[in-house]
Structures are given as C-alpha cells and as structure tokens.
Amino acid sequence: MKRLRKFALLWLFSSTVMPQPAYAEVLWQDFRLTYLNGSNYRLGDSQRQVLTIEHAAATSWGDSFFFLDHMKSGNGQHSNYAELQPRFSLGKNGWQLAPGGLIKDVLLASHIEMSSQRTNLLYGVGFDLAVPGLKFTQLNFYRRNNEQVNDNWQATLVWGAPFQVGGQSFLYDGFVDWASGSVDQHTNLNWTSQLKWLASSMWQGKSQVWLGVEYVWWRHKFGVIDSPSLRSHENNLNLLLKWHF
C-alpha cells in the first residue's frame, strides 16, 4: 500500500502542479498483436510461445504504452505478465524547449510491472531525443520500487529505425534495460530488438502485418547471477508475426 500511495502522489503532483489542457486528446494510437516462438528461454521452461497485446498512444498530456504477454511453455504451463508505461510531457504542457536540439521533450516517467508473483513500481524522468535516421528515440531513468527484492535504479533506451531494401519496408526497433544491483540481485542488462519486414505491402492491405525475428540478449536475467547450476544469461531468437489493427 505504501508504494501505491507513492505512485498516486506522484501523479497527483503532476496533475496539480503542471498546466493541463481542458480535456485529454488522443493524437494517435496503435493496437498490435504479436506472436513469438522461441526455444532458448532462461529461468523456466526453455520452449515458449508468447501472444502479446500492445497499445501505444500519444495524447495531449503525454504518451503511454501497455502490453500484456500470455505465455505458454513447452511443459504446458501458462502465465501472464503486463506492463503499463504512462509519461507526462512537460513540453506539451507549457515547458517549451528550444527547437533544433537533441532533446525534443522532457517527461515525468512512470512504469508498472505486473505479474501473479509481484508488482513493481518505477518513477523518474524521460527524454524524447531527435536522432537522425530514427523514427523515435526515448531515454528514461527510473527509481525502482520492487515488491520482493531491494529497490534499485534502471535506465531504459527505446528506438525505432525504419529502412528500405529493394523497395521493401523494414523496421529495426527495440529497447535496452540496464538495472543496478543490490544486496539481493545482480546488475542486469537486457537488449531486446526486433527486425521486421512489412509483409502486408505485398497485398496492400489496410492493416500492417510484419514478419521477422526478435532477439533477446540478457545478462543476469531478472538480477539472478549466472552460474553453471543456474544459467541466467539468455541468448534467445524468436520467430515473430505482428499485426497492427
């Protein structure tokens, strides 16, 4: 309850101190459904299929991202995991930055990690960056309030790089999470990226369908120290099918 109160106070501060528009307007939003199939997962069954529902939106107050993973392991077990990441934009609410610089916007960043085992709350500051050749670049710095281990720090980089090959559209996007260590967890680094081809361009459908792969390079997964008896270094290639609707 203490952590929930901290989170509520954070958003109460942002909604009362910062200027607000008369109403919230959705500038754009995107719904996505992704299927993954991989066989080199660590900490649990190595074979898994994952069905992910995602929603991303930009609004008059900031932006948000949500996803829900439904996982089926090779041993038949099912599990769910979700994250919600709302960010409050200072640039959209009266704190204008000089145009043309590296930093496009500064945001109050929050993040909730939810599973049946634990709920972790993160809060901090985020930056939207103007990087040539990239569709978007975000850099967030968080303080982690963990439910079952000591609190620590996290930095997250998110990017999207579209490109063309032979007249076909491709996208390389992903994220890098770095989390600091503590007395009961090791420093860990998770680099997850997707390389996708816009397959729906072949039939010119209204909805986008992407085919490709997702690769996970994770050192000391979940802060668990890698050892011969418990491997937590993950190098995991997944087949990917993504539908934007």
Domain annotation covers residue 226: yes
Query: Which three-class secondary structure string do you get for 180-230?
Result: CCECCECCEEEEEEEEEEEHHHHCCCCCEEEEEEEEEEEECHHHCCCECCE
Residue range(s) defining the domain that contains residue 89: 2-20+83-244
CATH of the domain at 216: 2.40.230.20
- Indicate whether 72 belongs to any domain: no
**Residue pLDDT tens, the chain, 245 long:** 455 545 544 554 444 344 455 567 999 999 999 999 999 999 989 999 999 999 999 999 999 999 999 999 988 899 999 999 999 999 999 888 878 889 999 999 999 999 988 999 999 999 999 999 999 999 999 999 999 999 999 999 999 999 999 999 999 999 999 999 999 999 999 999 999 999 999 988 789 999 999 999 999 999 999 999 999 999 999 999 999 98
Cross-strand partners of 206: none
Q: How many degrees, rounded to 5, is the angle at CA 83 between CA 82 and CA 88?
A: 155
Please tell me the total count of domains within the chain.
1
Can you tell me the distance from the alpha carbon of 22 to that of 20, in angstroms, rounded to the nearest whole number? 6
Q: What is the pTM of this model?
A: 0.88
Cα(178)–Cα(191) distance, integer angstroms: 9
For residue 28, tell me if it sits in a domain.
Answer: no
Single out the residue of 213, 160, 216 nearest to residue 189, CA to CA: 216
